Amino acid sequence: MDQQGGVKQGASGSDVSYLVVERLSRRFGDVAAVDDVSLTVARGEIICLVGHSGCGKSSLLRLVAGVDRPDRGRILLDGEEIAGPRSHVEPEDRRIGFMFQDYALFPHLSVTDNVRFGLARLDKARAAARAEEVIGLLGIPHLAGRFPHMLSGGEQQRVALARALAPQPRILLMDEPFSNLDRGLRDGLRTETLGVLRELGTTVLMVTHDPEEALSSGDRVVLMRGGSVVQEGSGRELYDRPRNAYAAEFFCSFNKIPGTCSQGFLETPLGRFAAPDLAEGARATAHIRPHSLRISDEHAQGLECRVLDIILMGEIEEVRLLASGVPEPLRVRSTVRCSLRPGDAATVQLTSANVLIF
């Protein structure tokens, strides 16, 4: 075991299959919380489980932690079966760290004692040394004597991370670890935390409901829906090459323009797009991201439309347009301020070939 919380290569495991989830299922009555999920995590990899509330991501985390038992399937960690039809290793014996959404710090214990809480198996001197080491590693020695009510949200998050890393877990589970923080603090602290975990080589399974957080944080992203895996891969893969409309729309808002397939192309009011896999006469929808459109005045070439509304979103401005033949208002987003006003005639053009058809 690495002395800073990472895990060294073991004889029984491999880098490719450090954590293996095989056809895991868990039902609560008629609800399939986890439905035939398979997943492989490499040693030192950071995986983000993402999806809407109730998709099964937290239920999967609980099964890996051992606080719940699967109805079917099995889980292996570093070659050891920790859950399955004939085995169930108790949570305290799995050597898995768990960082909760609300941090779950003990209010009557100091920061040092909170960090030492999971070190009961060590003698007092070794536990004190390990706690001091991890507190120093995370840059919070000045907080050692304080109590949780004396800490800011960001400080509580660092203490919770220190407590989770102190026992040198084989894998760290994180359930919405940044959701309680203000956005400005959340972004900075997430970058800092993930930097520490990567430096230590810690294997991480992190749950989030935030699409941007998932895309920017994980080495791989696992999108779930209804207890099942919809798609997994790198953030770029899921954003640029989603397998279906659900995956596409989870990570980005789209202009959805219906059309009909003719001679290998989808014909729409905004243009024709290659669709070689669609049957002649098939109905489909072109998904176009708001930043892939550009607005010009009414004299330019493009689809004729009228400005409905202009919404300032800070750095970005969104313009909503009514266009002939398009059932829903088109949305155009840009960092360039629009000189048109609601009611003005305009034209809109496609500026990117990245059109998704489902």
303 and 229 in a common domain: no
Asked if residue 223 is part of any domain, the answer here is yes
Which pLDDT does position 149 carry in this prediction?
95
Which pLDDT does position 15 carry in this prediction?
64
| Alpha-carbon gap, residue 268 to 326, rounded angstroms | 9
Checking if the pLDDT of 200 tops 70, the result is yes
Quote the distance between the C-alpha of residue 118 and its chain's center: 27
Asked if residue 333 is part of any domain, the answer here is yes
Mean pLDDT of 83-106: 92
- What CA–CA distances, in Å, run from 209 to 51, 153, 179, 292, 306? 5, 19, 9, 25, 35
State residue 132 phi and psi, 5-degree precision: -60, -40
257 and 342 in a common domain: yes
300 and 338 in a common domain: yes
User: Which residue range is the domain that position 57 belongs to?
Assistant: 19-95+168-248
Describe the crossing of helices 183-200 and 153-165 by its angle, rounded to 10 degrees: 20
Asked if residue 122 is part of any domain, the answer here is no
| Alpha-carbon gap, residue 17 to 75, rounded angstroms | 11
Asked if residue 113 is part of any domain, the answer here is no
Mean pLDDT of 324-333: 93
| Alpha-carbon gap, residue 114 to 136, rounded angstroms | 15
Which pLDDT does position 82 carry in this prediction?
97
- Tens-place pLDDT, residues 105-130: 999 999 999 999 989 889 999 999 99
State residue 238 phi and psi, 5-degree precision: -70, -35
Tell me the whole-structure pTM to 2 decimals. 0.89
- Tens-place pLDDT, residues 227-271: 999 999 999 999 999 999 999 999 999 999 999 999 999 999 998
- Identify the band that residue 181 occupies on the pLDDT scale cut at 50, 70 and 90: confident
Residue 313: give its domain's CATH number.
2.40.50.140
Checking if the pLDDT of 7 tops 80, the result is no
Nearest to 344 by CA among 309, 315, 306, 314: 306
Residue 49: give its domain's CATH number.
3.40.50.300
205 and 60 in a common domain: yes
The percent of residues in the chain predicted with pLDDT above 70, rounded, is 96
Q: How many folded domains does the chain comprise?
A: 2
Tell me which H or E stretch contains 272: strand 271-274
211 and 64 in a common domain: yes
299 and 239 in a common domain: no
Domain end among 198, 215, 248: 248
**196 CB-near residues (< 8 Å, 6+ apart):** 137, 138, 161
For residue 14, the SS3 value is coil
- Tens-place pLDDT, residues 115-172: 999 898 899 999 999 999 999 999 999 999 999 999 999 999 999 999 999 999 999 9
Which pLDDT does position 300 carry in this prediction?
79
268 and 198 in a common domain: no
Checking if the pLDDT of 11 tops 90, the result is no
Domain end among 248, 277, 305: 248
- Tens-place pLDDT, residues 54-63: 999 999 999 9
- Tens-place pLDDT, residues 263-297: 999 999 998 999 988 999 999 999 999 999 999 88
Checking if the pLDDT of 226 tops 60, the result is yes
Domain end among 224, 248, 272: 248
Asked if residue 259 is part of any domain, the answer here is yes
**293 CB-near residues (< 8 Å, 6+ apart):** 255, 330, 331, 332, 348, 349, 350, 351
Structure tokens belonging to residue 74: 């099995």
Checking if the pLDDT of 14 tops 80, the result is no
Asked if residue 10 is part of any domain, the answer here is no
228 and 187 in a common domain: yes
| Alpha-carbon gap, residue 265 to 272, rounded angstroms | 6
351 and 207 in a common domain: no
262 and 240 in a common domain: no
Asked if residue 328 is part of any domain, the answer here is yes
Which pLDDT does position 76 carry in this prediction?
97
- Tens-place pLDDT, residues 65-79: 999 999 999 999 999
- Identify the band that residue 38 occupies on the pLDDT scale cut at 50, 70 and 90: very high
Structure tokens belonging to residue 21: 């989830």
Of the CA atoms within 13 Å of residue 201, those in its CB half-sphere come to 15
Asked if residue 326 is part of any domain, the answer here is yes
274 and 236 in a common domain: no
353 and 211 in a common domain: no
Q: Across the chain, what does the average pLDDT equal?
A: 91
Mean pLDDT of 21-32: 96
Structure tokens belonging to residue 163: 């407590």
Question: What residue has token string 């990472």?
Answer: 6
Checking if the pLDDT of 354 tops 90, the result is no
